[in-house]
Amino acid sequence: MTGRTIDVIEAGLVPYGEALEWQRSLAQARLEHRLQHDVLLLLEHPPVVTLGRTSHAAHLLRPDGLEVFEVERGGDVTFHGPGQLVGYPILDLTGYRPDLHWYLRTVEQALIEALAELGIPATRRQGYTGVWTSDGERKLASIGVHVKQWVTWHGFALNVSTDLSHFERIVPCGIPGVVMTSVEREGGKGVGEGSLWDHTIAAVLGGFGRAFGAELRPALAVTAR
Amino acid sequence: MATQVFMEALSPTMEEGRVVKWHKREGDAVKAGDTLAEVETDKAVMDLVARADGVLRQVAVAEGQTVPVGSVVAVIAVPGESGGGQTAPASAPVPAVKGEGGQARPAPARSPARAAAVVAADATRVKASPLAKRIATETGVDLKLVTGSGPGGRVVKRDLEEAGRREKGEVRGAAAPPAVPPQAPLPSPISPALRGGAPYEDVPLTQIRKTIAKRLATSLGPIPHFFLTSEVDMERAAEARDALNRQLGDRGKVSFNDVIIKATALALTKHRACNAWFQDDHIRYWNDVHIGMAVAVDDGLITPVIRDADRKALLDIGREARELAEKARSRRLQPNDYTGSTFSVSNLGMFDIDQFTAVINPPEAGIIAVGAITSKPVVADGQIVPRRRMRITMSCDHRVIDGATGAAYLKTLKEMLENPLAMLL
CATH of domain A5-218: 3.30.930.10
Q: Which residues pair with B40 in a beta bridge?
A: B18, B45
Residue B264: partners with Cβ closer than 8 Å, 6 or more residues away: B291, B309, B343, B345, B368, B413
- Which residue from A75, A100, A217 is facing B10, i.e. has the nearest CB? A100
Residue among A3, A36, A146 whose CB faces B45 most closely: A146
Q: ipTM score here? A: 0.78
Provide the H-helix boundaries in B218-255: 235-248
**Average of per-residue pLDDT across B120-130:** 53
Strand partners, B36: none
The predicted pLDDT at position B151 comes to 62
Residue A162 has pLDDT above 70, yes or no: yes
Domain ranges of chain A: 5-218
Do B138 and A98 meet the contact criterion of CB atoms below 8 Å apart?
A: yes
Phi, psi of B347, rounded to the nearest 5 degrees: -125, 120
Q: Name the CATH architecture for the domain at B207-424.
A: 2-Layer Sandwich (3.30)
A132 CB-contact burial (10 Å; exposed 0-12 / middle 13-18 / buried 19+): buried
Give pLDDT, residue B206: 74
Q: Do A101 and B45 touch (CB under 8 A)?
A: no
Substitution target in A26, A31, A32, A72 with the highest count of B β-carbons within 10 Å is A72
Find which of A51, A101, A106, A152 to mutate to test the B interface (most B CBs within 10 Å of its CB): A101
**Nearest C-alpha in B relative to A148:** B47
How far apart CA A94 and CA B115 sit, in angstroms, is 15
CB contact under 8 A, A148 and B46: yes
Per-residue pLDDT at B269 exceeds 70: yes
Q: What is the pLDDT of residues B169-205, one digit of tens each?
A: 443 444 444 444 444 444 455 555 555 666 666 777 7
How many whole angstroms separate alpha carbon B112 and alpha carbon B130?
Answer: 10
Confidence grade of residue B42 (pLDDT, cut at 50, 70, 90): confident
pLDDT in tens, A19-61: 898 888 889 888 888 777 898 989 999 999 998 887 776 677 7
CB contact under 8 A, B281 and A221: no
Which pLDDT score, from 0 to 100, does residue B114 have?
33
Q: Which of A173, A183, A204, A216 is catalytic?
A: A173
Sign of CA dihedral B65, B70, B72, B75: positive
Coarse DSSP helix, strand, coil percentages of chain B, rounded to the nearest 5 percent: 30, 25, 45
Task: State the Cα–Cα distance between residues B102 and A70, nearest whole angstrom.
Answer: 27
Q: What residue type is assigned to position B209 of the chain?
A: R
Mean pLDDT of all residues in chain B?
77
Q: Mutation target for A interface from B43, B161, B287, B305: give the one with most A CBs within 10 A.
A: B43
Condensed to tens digits (0 to 9), the pLDDT of residues B106-118 reads 333 333 333 333 3
How confident is the model over B4-28, as a mean pLDDT?
86
Which amino acid would we find at residue B239? Answer: E
Supply the pLDDT for residue B102. 38
Q: What is the mean pLDDT of residues A60-87?
A: 85
Sort out which chain A residues have CB atoms less than 8 A from B43's CB and list them.
52, 73-75, 104, 129-130, 143-145
The residue among A191, A192, A159 whose CA lies nearest residue A173 is A159
| pLDDT for the residue B81 | 59
* DSSP H stretches of helix in B42-176: 111-115, 130-139, 157-167
Is A173 tagged catalytic?
yes
What digits encode the pLDDT tens for the residues B360-418? 988 899 999 999 999 988 887 788 888 899 999 999 998 888 889 999 999 999 998 98
- CATH architecture, domain defined by B3-125: Beta Barrel (2.40)
| CA–CA gap between residue B270 and residue B422 (Å, rounded) | 12
Sheet containing B54-57, strands listed edge to edge, beginning at the edge strand earlier in sequence: B3-6, B72-77, B54-57, B29-30
Query: Is any Cβ of chain B less than 8 angstroms from the Cβ of A26?
Result: no
Q: How high is the pLDDT of residue A225? A: 24
Q: Cβ contact (<8 Å) for B282 and A1?
A: no
Nearest by CB: B44 against A5, A34, A104: A104
Secondary structure string (H, E, C) spanning B189-228: CCCCCCCCCCCCCCCCCCHHHHHHHHHHHCCCCCCCEEEE
- The shortest CB-CB distance from A218 to any of B20, B38, B287 is to B287
Select the residue of B21, B42, B340 nearest A129 (Cβ to Cβ). B42
Taking CA–CA distances from B335, the nearest residue in chain A reads: A3
Per-residue pLDDT, averaged over B123-130, amounts to: 59
Residues in B whose CB is inside 8 Å of some CB of A read 10-14, 20-21, 35, 38, 40-47, 49, 138-140, 167-169, 277, 279-285, 287-288, 335-336, 339-340
* Interface residue A134 vs chain B (CB under 8 A): no
Longest alpha-carbon distance in chain B = 99
What's the confidence (pLDDT) of residue A14? 84
Residue type, B381: D
What residues of chain A lie within 8 A of the CB of B135, using their CB? none
Query: What is the distance between the alpha carbons of residues A145 and B10, in angstroms, rounded to a whole number?
Result: 12
CB contact under 8 A, B47 and A101: no
Confidence of residue B357 (pLDDT cuts 50, 70, 90): very high
For position A111, what pLDDT does the model report? Answer: 97
Q: What is the DSSP string of B141-193?
A: --GGGS---SGGG-B-HHHHHHHHHHHTT-----SSS-SB--SSPPP-SSPPP
Reported as a single tens digit per residue, the pLDDT across A117-159 is 999 999 999 888 899 999 989 999 999 999 999 999 999 999 9
A140 to A24, A188, B32: CA distances (angstroms):
26, 11, 40
Of B20, B140, B336, the CB nearest to A53: B20
Residue A75 at interface with chain B, using a CB cutoff of 8 Å:
yes
**CB spacing of A148 vs B139 below 8 angstroms:** no
Residues of chain B with CATH 2.40.50.100: 3-125
Whether the CB of A104 is below 8 Å from some CB of chain B: the reply is: yes
Which candidate in B225, B282, B290, B398 is catalytic? B398
Span of A174-183, B125-134, B170-179, B333-342 with lowest mean pLDDT: B170-179
Count of CB pairs separated by less than 8 Å, A with B: 106
Integer Cα distance of B57 and B24 in angstroms: 10
